[in-house]
Amino acid sequence: MNSAQTNLYFFEWGRVRDQYRSKGLTAKQADAKRHVLHAKALGRDKSSKDFTNADLDRVIAAFRAVTDGGDLNAQLAQLDQPENRRQRMIDRCQRAVGSFIEASDHATKEENCARYLDGTADRMFGVRFHLLDHGQEGNAQLRKVMGALERTARVRREKAKAESAPF
């Protein structure tokens, strides 16, 4: 986990611990319940230091079930985080391509962008962009495509800026 994720984890755990302590549990009993919540969310106890993004989402949802038990929307929103992260990566890919792809005589800008995205993913991984898997491997591939596209967009911006600069 990165530092922001670690901070979120301990913030949410602090809320749960406070609730447990207000019900009379000792600090040691509350900490034991933390590990029970890990096991409930992940199917086994796991150190927070070893969490993946998906693990963190599940554990945070379990924490929020304790603190916001009546707020199903908060729990569901946390469980939707993997798909939300994926959609943000897709949006970033589309923005990057949209920054340097134009319409042509035979296709709209959107069609050309879709072709460029498909071609990039195909060259990198042998699969069209919209067919990248939704699993962990597909998300890793999507991150790599996103990085390549954002790098291309940055290079093209810098080149255009240099070409338009007065001598």
Find the helix packing angle between 72-79 and 81-98, rounded to 10°.
Answer: 50
**Domain boundary assignment for the chain:** 3-79, 82-164
pLDDT in tens, the chain (167 residues): 788 889 999 999 999 999 888 989 898 998 888 988 998 888 898 988 989 888 898 898 888 888 876 666 665 665 667 677 788 889 999 999 999 999 888 899 999 999 999 999 999 999 999 888 766 677 889 989 999 999 999 999 998 888 887 76
Instruction: List the end-to-end C-alpha distance of the chain, in Å, as a whole number.
Output: 48
Give just the sign of the alpha carbon dihedral 41, 45, 48, 53: negative
pTM higher than 0.75 = no
Q: Would you say 37 and 59 are in contact if contact means Cβ atoms under 8 Å apart?
A: yes
Residue 167 CA to residue 157 CA, distance in Å, equals 18
